[in-house]
Chain A
Amino acid sequence: EVQLLESGGGLVQPGGSLRLSCAASGFSFGSYAMTWVRQAPGKGLEWVSGITGFGSGHYADSVKGRFTISRDNSKNTVNLQMNSLTAEDTAIYYCARPYANSYLDHWGQGTLVTVSS
């Protein structure tokens, strides 16, 4: 059974940093790209970042230059380093698995990031 478990969310002050992690199990992790999607309170889904199995990252314009995605295939984890956080980054952050770099067939339960003073 595919499982994705996010961690690392919490309260951070504006301008601060936070590192999210997603622990994956139940599939051959290194063979899959991975994705982060976020959802601000009461709002829709926003694609944030994706990383290929080889480690090539892509970013939404809204986070480019501030967020960095990485992965550790030996630990089956994907990380999202978030810097220079603003209130607009407040959201639930979901880890999701894209099948063949396309549709997101498995999602984690999400981790809440709150940026506030």
Chain B
Amino acid sequence: DAGITQSPRYKITETGRQVTLMCHQTWSHSYMFWYRQDLGHGLRLIYYSAAADITDKGEVPDGYVVSRSKTENFPLTLESATRSQTSVYFCASSEWSSGNTIYFGEGSWLTVV
């Protein structure tokens, strides 16, 4: 039972570079999410997807791009990384029903220098 896997787990990149964080889930869950975790802010939603080819902005979408061509994959791209995007990024998934458990990946630690 692989669940949700994120890659890379750790990444250091330079300002201005493009970075893609990968997320893969094995449950065929309808919903997928990207959150970032920062001290003092808890977790904030960046983007989410209700199904393949359907994505929508969350609370803090600026500077990020997502796609979902297949149900199981939901990559997050930082088109031109900035230091303020240094954070821990969590991918998550859930079934469609309201109140269903949301399952999280182990996180991707990104440092932008």
- Is B one of A's binding partners? no
Q: Which residues of A contact B (CB under 8 A)?
A: none
